[in-house]
Structure 1
């Protein structure tokens, strides 16, 4: 169940409307690093949790609802950057080449399809896709995905902050960057609260996995290299269940030969002679 209030989560102001920046802001709405992704990601993760995980479900849903508010903020920012800007399609300039050229600085569909407003697309106009969403049903795995999502989202927001000189936009982005800081930390804290956050899934019996390579860093270089003595090639593993080691070469074995295809596929090539033995 959802409720809504007719106000923004955080005030959004634009002092110098810029249609090009509106185009860039679309990445923070419908892009792979955007707010649509995390809002839906956290919802679907929450809906998969069984009874007994109420505190995690609440954490995910509270954050998902907050992210919906971020989408609204960004959509407002896009609209304010498009409308009233010196390059909008006003009546007096609609037929001039100068205005047509200026319009290319924004996503044409923001004018043609959305009437100078935000859309559920990225900065290239590519529609949002559910393929961006990570919701595996495994809480630990999903929390790791959430740390990554907030990290890439915060990186995007900082780049947008660096790009704009508009005080209002910098203020809004400063708020979003701060919330990404909190969300990264809360997901890490949630991971730390789990009994076995790694390896994922913790329910699989580790004695069933190959014990020769489960904590071995394997070099894929053609020529054998000495152990570089990095933290991931020696010492105790983070899960406390093994000791890192180093292998200078891959195990190898077997040939890359495909079995004969079924005749109904008609995959047999036409050839006049057999290859040399």
Structure 2
């Protein structure tokens, strides 16, 4: 059960309207690493959690906070559109192709959402549930969460640098600070689980069932050997199960593929007709 408090978590009012910037903010609202994505990701992980109660509680804490960030961004976007010259919006809406090419305002803010925010990214692509990760494995999910917070904070910082509006910067400064905490949160949770279960996902798979000969080899499949100097190519492996090895010229382990001719019933479907040189109608190179 959720309760809504009428006050926003933090101030979210611009000094001046700016429909172009409102379009940019749509990315951190409804984009792949936007607030709506992480809100749904954390809530679904929490709703589905079968782990220790502290993890479920933590997931629901942060997921619920992200709802407030969605509200703040929606409020900011709506106010950035308030008072924007109507002729600019109408002109852009006449030709979405020109609008997109010139990087103008989002015509859907006028046509679809009535000068309000929408659950889309900055190009108008709708929020997609495939952005969200909820696997049931805490370590895998928390690493996905760390990535989401890292990418999200990066985008908000870039947006901070693209405006001089003190009201917008004030709100973004708050959100950047919360993303700082959230990255620390996931790093701490990841370290805690890794200490208990190890660094590999999943930790339950039996070691003897995987090919140990190649399990710690870094294979050089591109020209140059600069990668050999990295910590991923030498020394003890992070999983504590062996030593990392650099392989300069990895070999092919499998044979050249050789496919059997298609059955007669497949000839017509594949457009392969029998000929004198190809009496069975086999596909020729």
SS at match of 1:228: helix
With normalisation by structure 1, the TM-score equals 0.89
Rounded to whole Å, the distance in 2 between the matches of 1:222 and 1:24 is 39
- Pairwise CA distance, 1:229: 3.0
Trace 1:120-139 onto structure 2 (pairs within 5 A). 120-139=119-138
Moved more, 176-185 or 194-203: 194-203
Consecutive unaligned residues in structure 2, runs of 5 or more: 94-98
- Pairwise CA distance, 1:226: 8.4
With normalisation by structure 2, the TM-score equals 0.86
- CA gap of 1:117–1:276, structure 2 versus 1, over 3 A, is closer
How many residue pairs get aligned? The number is 266
Trace 1:195-214 onto structure 2 (pairs within 5 A). 195-214=196-215
Consecutive unaligned residues in structure 1, runs of 5 or more: none
2:110 corresponds in structure 1 to: 111
Rounded to whole Å, the distance in 2 between the matches of 1:47 and 1:41 is 10
| Structure with greater helix percent | 2
2:96 corresponds in structure 1 to: none
- Pairwise CA distance, 1:78: 0.5
Trace 1:238-277 onto structure 2 (pairs within 5 A). 238-252=238-252, 253-261=254-262, 266-267=269-270, 269-270=272-273, 272=275, 273-274=277-278
Question: Is the 2:89–2:107 contact (alpha carbons within 8 Å) kept by the matching residues of 1?
Answer: no
- Pairwise CA distance, 1:141: 0.4
Question: Is the 1:221–1:249 contact (alpha carbons within 8 Å) kept by the matching residues of 2?
Answer: no
> 1:215-246: per-residue Cα shift (whole Å, max 9, x none)?
110111368x5882321111111222221111
Rounded to whole Å, the distance in 2 between the matches of 1:235 and 1:219 is 17
Rounded to whole Å, the distance in 2 between the matches of 1:150 and 1:245 is 32
Question: Is the 1:33–1:153 contact (alpha carbons within 8 Å) kept by the matching residues of 2?
Answer: yes
2:16 corresponds in structure 1 to: 16
Question: Is the 1:45–1:137 contact (alpha carbons within 8 Å) kept by the matching residues of 2?
Answer: yes
Rounded to whole Å, the distance in 1 between the matches of 2:66 and 2:6 is 16
